[in-house]
């Protein structure tokens, strides 16, 4: 059996890997609550928004149209959706170890691979400064390719000029990041932000509880 290739590049998921998306959504919900006169507490309103948001799996229009109908926010559904799209990502909340992890991984090549619209994902990346800490950003809404399709990973590798076998994909999604990266021929590191799905094979190369723990793993793979 051939020895694994030395790692030359690390690809990161964005939401709930480097970007604490749920915290950013909660902050936007608190802003909405503060701008309206509601008969529900801020804590309950934020909890409702996060529950309905389903970690980004629910379409934006459906969520905020429902909110505008359910609560007297002083805005139309269209105005709430517009406010979310244009202001929710003004100051994205990153996990505390995100920036330092990227700095410590240099001189390896670094990229972001994220599913989502160009408007929202580009705003998160630019306003958080992650674009200045990485070499390439692959956004599904720009490329017309989405994780777990191997094509979006291969397109990123082409931009980095690195073979997939010399890349690591890091992310919190068993389907999009672990299975996607593995299907593209990469090693994978799962960020355990939530329990692993029952019955799903644990086919990652390593699992960590925080992004900072990626550094020693990757350094070892890059030298051995």
Q: What is the mean pLDDT of each run of 10 residues along the chain (224 residues)?
A: 82 97 91 89 93 78 86 88 84 95 98 94 96 98 98 99 98 97 98 93 96 97 89
Q: Give pLDDT, residue 86.
A: 78
- The whole-angstrom separation of Cα 74 and Cα 58 is 23
Do 111 and 219 fall into the same domain?
yes
Instruction: Please state, in angstroms and as integers, the Cα–Cα distance from residue 108 to each residue in 75, 103, 104, 210, 224, following that order.
Output: 47, 10, 9, 19, 14
- The domain containing residue 35 runs over which residues? 21-87
Q: Which residues contact 144 (CB under 8 A, 6 or more apart)?
A: none
Do 50 and 62 fall into the same domain?
yes
Residue 1 falls inside a structural domain: no
Do 116 and 214 fall into the same domain?
yes
Do 177 and 105 fall into the same domain?
yes
Do 130 and 169 fall into the same domain?
yes
Residue 2 falls inside a structural domain: no
Do 213 and 116 fall into the same domain?
yes
Residue 4 falls inside a structural domain: no
């Amino acid at each position: 059996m051939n020895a694994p290739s030395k790692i030359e590049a690390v690809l990161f998921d964005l939401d709930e890997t480097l970007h604490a998306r749920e915290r950013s959504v909660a902050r936007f919900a608190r802003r909405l609550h503060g701008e309206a006169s509601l008969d529900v507490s801020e804590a309950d309103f934020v909890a409702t928004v996060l529950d309905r948001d389903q970690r980004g799996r629910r379409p934006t229009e459906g969520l905020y149209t429902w909110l505008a109908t359910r609560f007297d926010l002083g805005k139309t559904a269209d105005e709430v959706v517009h406010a979310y799209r244009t202001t929710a990502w003004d100051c994205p909340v990153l996990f505390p170890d995100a920036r330092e992890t990227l700095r410590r991984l240099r001189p390896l090549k670094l990229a972001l691979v994220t599913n989502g619209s160009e408007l929202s994902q580009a705003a998160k990346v630019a306003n958080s400064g992650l674009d200045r800490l990485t070499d390439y950003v692959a956004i599904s809404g720009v490329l017309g390719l989405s994780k777990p399709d191997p094509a979006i990973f291969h397109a990123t590798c082409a931009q980095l000029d690195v073979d997939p076998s010399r890349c690591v994909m890091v992310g919190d999604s068993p389907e999009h990041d672990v299975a996607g990266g593995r299907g593209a021929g990469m090693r994978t590191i799962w960020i355990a932000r939530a329990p692993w799905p029952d019955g799903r094979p644990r086919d990652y190369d390593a699992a960590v509880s925080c992004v900072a723990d990626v550094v020693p793993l990757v350094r070892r793979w890059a030298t051995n």
